[in-house]
Chain A
Amino acid sequence: MNVRLRTSSREGMPFRARANTGLLGAAALIVAESMFFLGVLSAWYYLQVISLGNWPPAALRPRTFTLPLINTAIILVSTLALFWGERGIAAGNKRRLTIGVAVAAATGLLFMAMQTVEFSGLGFRATGSAYGSMFFALLVFHLLRVFVGVAWMAVVLIRSLMGQFDQKRRTVVQACAMYWYFITVIWLIVFAVLYLL
């Protein structure tokens, strides 16, 4: 130190952050992801407005929403399982975390499998029209998010099995759970926009 300043730490002490940087970082990434989603969603509505009532084009309307409805149930089960597991480790219960994450990751995988079935059953493709492109964009971008979420949960599951988390060390679990809740909310919006509205 070249000038005389008041200091707080002893020499060589590590720096203590003011807040949980891992959680803040995950929250910031979720903001970025939301903007990505809002960008694509705005494109959907923009094209809907300029299509002057021809949206969806008559031939292209998805026939049913049974499968996506089942998928909605699946992802909600997944989120509940992860919430249960995350609350478990917050109370120090390592076994609850392992079971919760395992169930959440498995149902997440099931969701992905069901989505690919949904893609082939839609009866239209991404290439024929702007509507088809936007429809698939909203689904595929969401599927990619689910893939990231499932991969993240797999990491949490392995680390949980290795006993790396406890009441104090669970930032990664919290961040992963935050991201998965976010994905669930996005799915509810995507489902409503594509199939219900």
Chain B
Amino acid sequence: MASIPVPVTRRGSALGGLIDILTTVDHKKIGLVYIVSSFIFFILSGLLALGIRTQLAVPNNTFLPPEAYNMVFTMHGTGMIFLFVIPILTGGFGNYLVPLQIGARDMAFPRMNAFSLWMFIFAAILIMTGVTLAVVGYTAQIPSLTQFSSSAAWTAYVPLSSKQFSPQIGMDLWVLGVIALGISSTLGAVNFLVTIYAMRAPGMTAWRMPMFTWSMTVTAAMILVATPVLTAAMIMLIADRQFGTQFFSTSNARLWQHMFWFYSHPAVYIMVVPAMGMLSEILPVFSRKPIFGPKVIILSTVAIGVLGFTTWAHHMFVSGISPEVERFFMFTTMVIAVPTGVKIFNWIATMWGGSLNFKTPLLMGFGFLSTFVVGGITGVVQGAIPLDAEVHNSYWVVAHFHYVLFGGSVFGIFGGLYYWMPKFTGKMLDEKLGKLHFWTMFVGFNLTFFPMHILGLMGMPRRIAVYPDGRGWEVSNLVATIGAFMIALSVLIFIINYLGLARRPKAPENPFEGNTLEWATDSPPAEYNFKKIPVVTSARPLWEARTGQKDIEH
């Protein structure tokens, strides 16, 4: 029967501030450390992406040798997925916002929360130190340093990741890092589920819970069920590499694919569902309307969470699984598009007839919606077995998942950063720079990834370090590279915007007229969040307080 201790802050000196960050159990500080650190990993992984695009800008390029290229794309994927999108959404936004949105003083297990954070940082150091050393090794021609990074792709398929084909220590560091991340996010999921179940303020029934909190509930449940299987697979892989066991000997290689995708397909939804939740917060606020069909949005999120566990083998249509199994997974892949499509219509209906407030968060929301629809549709298309056999391992797939992951999650993350920055810091990001950021990123994104659809259909395989002249791939690749640098520029604009934050005036208390409880306290909130615990009487407590009217109960 937890009563939550109010954390003590040490103020004053820089050392005191550092000690405060290292020892804090406050969900808001932990959330901000997650956001800042995973954003640093976003920049590092983004630089690796620029390396990829520079190498592929022209045919027969020699910017990166093939071994270095393999390392770079492996670590780009690993970094973006494991060290940026998942931690910033769950550890970052989830930690910061969930207790505020449900009217609690902290998470249910504040110390376990700090443990999750430092486990994540430890894992990230394991993985990222290896990359840094390897990059130095390749640039300065020191071969002994190049062994500190994995180059078996983020999927680490056996036998490529076995001792025989990946003898370097970097592969072991990578596996250990992913195990540590698994522990971190599993404990985080336990924390979220218990917090959301047990710590809600009086009156906050399930249907009155904010959309982002709902999406975090489903995400945490998925993490709880999926991640331990990945951890088991990783432990078995490192046992194969170090102790000579035979779990994934060549004849059993598909076992790895099953265990890996059993986690990593739900992981796709783990990466996008919180971003969907953020979109469901942003769209009604900036349309100045209640969200359309909140129960349907909630139920479709739950449906995605459940169905997400039934589709993993659609990654394996060309791995040689039986046709009956293939048909089952094709069917489930088509089915999961339904709840996702339902959400899209809900979001459009939310904006329909609304008095749209064209601020950066809404623009980022448009970016999410428009690109995510494209990625969703290409996903359904390649879920068809014959077509999948055609486009598998081609640039079409790269285009598809970037439209979902960048178009969905990353636009969502930036939308969330613009929307909640006044809550995090008490200051507002600049609107002009924000709009510039959005348009540069949106155009850059489409320039980078749209041509990849065409490249894939023209037969360009993914994960190749060089391609020959005369295949008709030159223009599309060059355009993609230009687009990648535009994305980098847009992120630079965001960083400039962020660095200018200190000089900006104090933000109003509720600058965008948000309706959820995080806007009912100071910005940034004090450690105890709320002086008095609020009583919730509807899904939009602040709208009720502002207008003095009773909100509709759905």
Q: Which residues of A contact B (CB under 8 A)?
A: 1-22, 24-25, 28-29, 31-33, 35-36, 38-40, 42-43, 46-47, 50, 126-130, 132-134, 136-137, 141, 171
Q: Which residues of B contact A (CB under 8 A)?
A: 1-4, 104-106, 108-109, 112, 186, 189-191, 193-194, 197-202, 224-229, 231-233, 236, 239-240, 243-247, 249, 251-252, 254-255, 258-259, 262, 509-510, 519-522, 528, 530-535, 537, 541-542, 545-546
On whether the beta carbons of B522 and A18 are closer than 8 Å, the reply is: no
On whether the beta carbons of B3 and A43 are closer than 8 Å, the reply is: no
On whether the beta carbons of B198 and A18 are closer than 8 Å, the reply is: yes
- Tell me whether A15 and B104 are in contact in the complex, defined as CB-CB below 8 angstroms, given that A47-B252, A130-B249 are known contacts: yes
Which of A8, A22, A28, A38 lies in contact with B193, CB distance below 8 A? Answer: A28
Instruction: List chain B residues, Cβ under 8 A from A22.
Output: 2
Which of A15, A35, A39 lies in contact with B3, CB distance below 8 A? Answer: A15
On whether the beta carbons of A47 and B255 are closer than 8 Å, the reply is: yes
On whether the beta carbons of B186 and A126 are closer than 8 Å, the reply is: no
On whether the beta carbons of B252 and A50 are closer than 8 Å, the reply is: yes
Q: How far apart are B239's CB and chain A's nearest CB, in angstroms?
A: 8
- Tell me whether A25 and B247 are in contact in the complex, defined as CB-CB below 8 angstroms, given that A1-B520, A7-B532, A8-B534 are known contacts: no
On whether the beta carbons of B535 and A17 are closer than 8 Å, the reply is: no
On whether the beta carbons of A127 and B243 are closer than 8 Å, the reply is: yes
On whether the beta carbons of B232 and A39 are closer than 8 Å, the reply is: yes
On whether the beta carbons of B535 and A5 are closer than 8 Å, the reply is: yes
Which of B251, B254, B532 lies in contact with A8, CB distance below 8 A? Answer: B532
On whether the beta carbons of B197 and A24 are closer than 8 Å, the reply is: yes
On whether the beta carbons of A43 and B533 are closer than 8 Å, the reply is: no
On whether the beta carbons of B258 and A46 are closer than 8 Å, the reply is: yes
On whether the beta carbons of B534 and A32 are closer than 8 Å, the reply is: no
Instruction: List chain B residues, Cβ under 8 A from A132.
Output: 245-246
Instruction: List chain A residues, Cβ under 8 A from B535.
Output: 5-8
On whether the beta carbons of B247 and A133 are closer than 8 Å, the reply is: yes
- Tell me whether A1 and B247 are in contact in the complex, defined as CB-CB below 8 angstroms, given that A6-B537, A7-B533, A9-B532 are known contacts: no
Instruction: List chain A residues, Cβ under 8 A from B545.
Output: 3-5
Which of B105, B224, B236, B534 lies in contact with A137, CB distance below 8 A? Answer: B236
Q: List 29 A-B contacts (CB under 8 A).
A: A3-B520, A5-B535, A5-B541, A5-B545, A7-B533, A8-B202, A16-B1, A18-B199, A18-B200, A24-B198, A25-B108, A25-B109, A28-B194, A29-B190, A32-B225, A33-B228, A35-B225, A35-B226, A36-B232, A39-B229, A43-B255, A126-B239, A128-B246, A130-B251, A133-B240, A133-B245, A133-B246, A133-B247, A136-B245
On whether the beta carbons of A21 and B108 are closer than 8 Å, the reply is: yes
**Assembled-state Cα–Cα distance A43/B235 (Å):** 13
**Assembled-state Cα–Cα distance A112/B232 (Å):** 21
Instruction: List chain A residues, Cβ under 8 A from B528.
Output: 12
